Chains A and B, each alone.
Chain A
Amino acid sequence: MALVDLRHVRFRYTGSDSYALNDVSLSAERGEFILLVGPSGCGKSTLLRVLNGLVPHFYEGEFEGEAKVAGLDVRSTPTHVLARHVGVVFQDPENQLFLSSVEREIAFGLENLGLPRSEVKRRVREVLKEFNLESIKEKAPYELSGGQQQKVAIASVMALEPEILALDEPTANLDPLSALEVLTLVNRLVKEKGVLAFVVEHRLEIALRFTTRMIVMLKGCVAADGGPREVLLKAGKVVGYPPVMLVHVLLKRKGLVGDGVPLTCEELAEEVIAKWAMRYS
């Protein structure tokens, strides 16, 4: 059975006229880096919150359809149980780091599960080492840079060892280098631990290099779902083409390049070099 299995999910927030999720079906497995995009209000944040049950437990409304995460039915499983399988990282680091040291922050989720102190201490040590946070373990969150804060947030949810990691615009307030570091960390977790990552992002240029699958949402529906290249060709007008893709599309019209759609600078450069070498060989 799929790790995430949504079938014909519809959801309307209490007091709202329209459906935030309008017949969404998708399934996802371990080891995927899914980029979830779409204009504001398309439902991507709502979809993310279905994964750990914030919808419909925290955000009330009418929920239809089936949603199973790690074999558990979202509608009947409380969020704190789902939290062991789905770690959610939000956009604003300030509102998700509550405690006065990094070490304490990582212990928080484990503490909440009621684990004995010795077990919590052991896991905290492991996480600090794994995420390279030992040097800052006593620092308070407000003393850290935005990028470091998001890394701490990721480490704190990963301490519970979830199979799924959901991130809601994690790099919105970060500078490009920090954004790259954060997404590289997520990618490492996907590749090395087989985590299933759902990343909601607007900054395609940074996220595309890690994306294995792209889902575009529009007005509560899934408008496109597949490999990033095909999805961009199909839905680029809505989400914006990365600059390298624009160049490719223009060159393709003149018949100067082949079909492979570049997502990164390296790919476009490769394409150009190959063609250039051919002409000069």
Chain B
Amino acid sequence: MGDAILVEDVHFSYEGVPALRGVSLTIRTGEVLAIMGENGAGKTTLVKHFVGLLKPERGRVLVFGTDTRDASVAQLARRVGLVFQNPDHQLFAESVEGEVLFTLKNMGYPPDKARAICDSILKLFELDRYKDRSPYSLSIGERKRLAIAAVVSYNPDVLVLDEPTAGQDFFNKSKISKLIFKLRMQGKGVVIVTHDVEFASQVADRVVLMAEGRVIREGGAKDVLTDAEALRHARLVLPQIPATAAILEAEGVSLPSKPLLPGTLYLELLELLNHR
């Protein structure tokens, strides 16, 4: 685990309107970071800086030691894979396998190696049976998987997912969380931009809360996602488990810790209700 992306006091405005007002944070490999906040807080603007699509007006962004102002987007993208929110913005090929091959070609993989990677990636994402079909003939969940597959295929060190669970059904959400765990186990860094507090509570190691272009709270998922005040400031709500714990607390029922996950709450309640 090491530092992959360093964001140092970044300021950025769109046509005179400030979008980022002095944001600093660190993305590490082997860790899942959730960047959260309401729409318009600056989350997507921030992650665009990770591949150099946007360059800071003040401050700087270092990607594995390289200042984003000194490298092209293609060079940065080799190490940081960015998957946008809407899959329809990022499907360029005529077939499902063509999509993966297109990406691998751009990233400099020779054709025979690309083919091998393509086959295994499609199998991993359960898209191999569609490999000759047009990407647009797939369902929305499958298109999202394809967009992620294409980016994962070239093995970037950091994967950034913008709102991966928006509009996704339960099956797809589970698949996405399984993928995220797998990538973390492989030592990759994963950044998810989301306002889905439940999903973040399941997958994130660390959470950064943003509001109005600033970072207002940062820390371990367990600390941040149980902090009602900070979440409210970021226009988010407590996930169900900490919300339940908060109600119990208010009614005089104390729990030993601030639980985030159902399992933890269950064990603590087991203790509580069995205790003689």
Q: A-side interface residues toward B, CB under 8 Å?
A: 38-41, 91, 145-146, 169, 172-178, 180, 202-203, 205, 238-240, 242-244, 246-247, 250-251, 254, 256, 264-266, 268-269, 272-273, 275-276, 279
Give 13 A-B contacts (CB < 8 Å), ordered by A residue.
A39-B170, A91-B167, A172-B166, A177-B236, A202-B168, A242-B240, A243-B261, A244-B241, A244-B244, A250-B262, A269-B244, A272-B244, A276-B273
CB-based contact A247/B139 at 8 Å: no
CB-based contact B237/A180 at 8 Å: yes
Q: Does B235 contact A (CB under 8 A)?
A: yes
Chain B residues near A279 (CB, 8 Å)?
Answer: 273
Known: A250-B266, A276-B272. A243 touches B239 (CB 8 A): yes
CB-based contact B169/A39 at 8 Å: yes
- The 8 Å CB contact of A265, one of B236, B244, B274, is B244
- Cα distance A173–B40 in the bound complex, in angstroms: 12
CB-based contact A272/B273 at 8 Å: yes
- Cα distance A111–B262 in the bound complex, in angstroms: 51
Q: Does B173 contact A (CB under 8 A)?
A: yes
- Cα distance A49–B85 in the bound complex, in angstroms: 26
Chain B residues near A91 (CB, 8 Å)?
Answer: 167
CB-based contact B270/A254 at 8 Å: yes
Query: Which one of A176, A177, A180, A202 has the greatest number of beta carbons of chain B within 10 Å?
Result: A176
- Min distance, Cβ A166 to any Cβ of chain B, angstroms: 17
Q: Is the interface of B mostly helix, strand, loop or mixed?
A: helix
Chain B residues near A254 (CB, 8 Å)?
Answer: 270
- Cα distance A268–B255 in the bound complex, in angstroms: 15
On chain B, the number of residues with a Cβ less than 8 Å from chain A's Cβ atoms is 40
- Min distance, Cβ B211 to any Cβ of chain A, angstroms: 11
CB-based contact A175/B236 at 8 Å: yes
> B226-244 interface mask toward A, CB cutoff 8 Å, 1 = contact, 0 = none?
0000000001110111011
Residue of A nearest to B170 (CB): A240
CB-based contact A40/B169 at 8 Å: yes
- Cα distance A169–B126 in the bound complex, in angstroms: 26
CB-based contact A251/B166 at 8 Å: no
CB-based contact B248/A202 at 8 Å: no
- Min distance, Cβ B262 to any Cβ of chain A, angstroms: 4
- Min distance, Cβ B167 to any Cβ of chain A, angstroms: 4
Q: Does B119 contact A (CB under 8 A)?
A: no
- Cα distance A266–B240 in the bound complex, in angstroms: 10
CB-based contact B195/A176 at 8 Å: yes
Within 8 A of A (CB), among B15-45: 37-40
CB-based contact B38/A265 at 8 Å: no
Residue of B nearest to A176 (CB): B237
CB-based contact A173/B166 at 8 Å: yes
Residue of B nearest to A257 (CB): B273
